[in-house]
Structure 1
Amino acid sequence: MVFNLAVPMTLAYLTTPLLGLVDTAVVGRLGEASLIGGLAVGAILIDLALTTFNFLRSGTTGLTAQAFGRADAVEIQATLLRSLMIGVTCGLILLALTPLLLAIGLYLMDPGDKVAIATQQYVQIRMFGAPLALGNYAVLGWLIGLGRTKTGLLLQIVLNGTNIALSFLMGLHLGFGIEGVAAATVISELLALLLGLSICHRLLAGNKRPSSERLFDRAALWRLANLNADIMLRSFALLFAFAFFTAQGAELGEQTLAANAVLMNFLMIAGYFLDGLATSAEQLVGRAIGANYRAGFVRSLRLTLAWNLCMAALLSLIFGLFGETLIAVMTTLESVRMEASHYLLLAALLPLTGVLAFQMDGVFIGATWSREMSRMMLVSLSAYLIAWWLLQDFANTGLWLALHIFLLVRGLTLSVRLPVRVRQAFRQS
Structure 2
Amino acid sequence: MPIFEKHILKSLDRKIIALAVPMILSNITVPLLGLVDTAVIGHLPHAYYLGGSTVGAMIITFITWLCGFLRMSTTGLAAQALGRESHDEATIVLLRGLLVAGAIGLACILLQTPYFQLSLWLAGGSEQVQFYAKQYMDIRVWGLPAALANIVMLGWLLGQHQAKAVMWLLILINSINLSLDLLFVLAFGWQVQGVAAATLVAEYSGLIAGLSFILRRYYQRNIGLLANRALLSKVLNISQLGDYFKLNRDILIRTLCLEVCFVFMTFQGARLGDNIVAANAILMNFLLLISFGLDGIANAAEAMIGKAKGAGANHELSLILTRCTLWTIAFAVVYSLIFAVGGGWLISQITTIAEVSVEAEKYLGWIILLPVIGCWCYLYDGVYVGLTRADIMRNSMIIATFFVFFPLWLVFNEAFKQAALGFALNHALWLAFSGFMLARGATLGWHLYQRLLPQPITR
Task: Return 106-115 or 25-34, whichever deviates more.
Answer: 25-34
TM-fit CA distance, 1:400: 4.8
For structure 1, which segment, 39-48 or 392-401, has the greater mean C-alpha deviation from structure 2 after superposition?
392-401
- Note if contact 1:88-1:135 (Cα within 8 Å) is conserved in structure 2: yes
Report the secondary structure of 1:368's partner residue. coil
- Selected match of 1:301 from 321, 338, 347: 321
Cα separation, partners in 2 of 1:258 and 1:195, compared to 1, 3 Å = closer
The answer for the alignment partner of 2:21 in structure 1 is 7
1:133 paired with 2:133, answer no
1:413 to 439, 443, 446: 443
Q: Which residue is equivalent to 1:100? A: 114
Q: Measure, in 2, the Cα distance between the counterparts of 1:260 and 1:184.
A: 23
Aligned partner of 2:11 in structure 1 is none
Q: In the alignment, what sits opposite 2:406?
A: 385
Choose 103-112 or 287-296, whichever is displaced more.
103-112
In structure 2, the CA distance between the partners of 1:266 and 1:121, relative to structure 1 (3 Å rule), is: closer
| AA partner of residue 228 (structure 1) | N
Comparing 130-139 with 118-127, greater Cα deviation is found at 118-127
TM-score by length of 1: 0.86
Aligned to 2:379: 359
Q: Does 1:60 align with 2:74?
A: yes
Partners of 1:162 and 1:380 lie apart in 2 by 37
Deviation at 1:293, TM superposition (A): 0.8
Residue 211 of structure 1 corresponds to: 231
Answer whether contact 2:42 2:353 (CA < 8 A) is retained: no
Secondary structure at the aligned position of 1:349 is classed as: helix
Percent identical residues:
37
Quickly say closer, same or farther: Cα 1:385–1:106, change in 2 above 3 A: closer
Name the SS of the counterpart of 1:211 in structure 2. helix
- Cα offset, 1:84, TM superposition: 0.3
Structure 2 unpaired stretches of 5+: 1-14
1:291 to 303, 311, 330: 311
CA RMSD of aligned residues (A): 3.5
1:17 aligns to what? 31
Q: Secondary structure at the match of 2:312?
A: coil
Contact 1:266–1:348 (CA under 8 A) maintained in structure 2 = no
Asked if the contact 2:48–2:274 (Cα under 8 Å) also holds between the matched residues in 1, the reply is no
Distance verdict in 2 for CA 1:192–1:321, change over 3 Å: closer
Shift of 1:70: 1.2
Residue 457 of structure 2 corresponds to: 426
Shift, 1:25, TM fit: 5.9
Q: Provide the TM-score with structure 2 as the length reference.
A: 0.80
Aligned to 2:98: 84
For 2:151, the aligned partner's letter is Y
Query: Is 2:300 aligned against 1:280?
Result: yes
User: What's the counterpart of residue 248 of structure 2?
Assistant: 228
Aligned CA distance change for structure 1 residues 113 and 257 (closer, same or farther; 3 Å): closer
Q: Counterpart amino acid of 1:426?
A: I
Size of the alignment, in residue pairs?
Answer: 428
Amino acid at match of 2:373: T
**SS of residue in 2 equivalent to 1:102:** helix
2:170 alignment partner in structure 1: 156
- More displaced stretch, 292-301 vs 327-336: 327-336
| Worse-superposed segment, 257-266 or 154-163 | 257-266
- Amino acid in structure 1 at the alignment position of 2:218: L
Distance in 1 between residues matched to 2:197 and 2:274, nearest whole Å: 35
Distance across 2 between alignment mates of 1:254 and 1:112? 8
In structure 1, the gaps of 5 or more residues are none
Q: CA deviation at 1:126?
A: 2.3
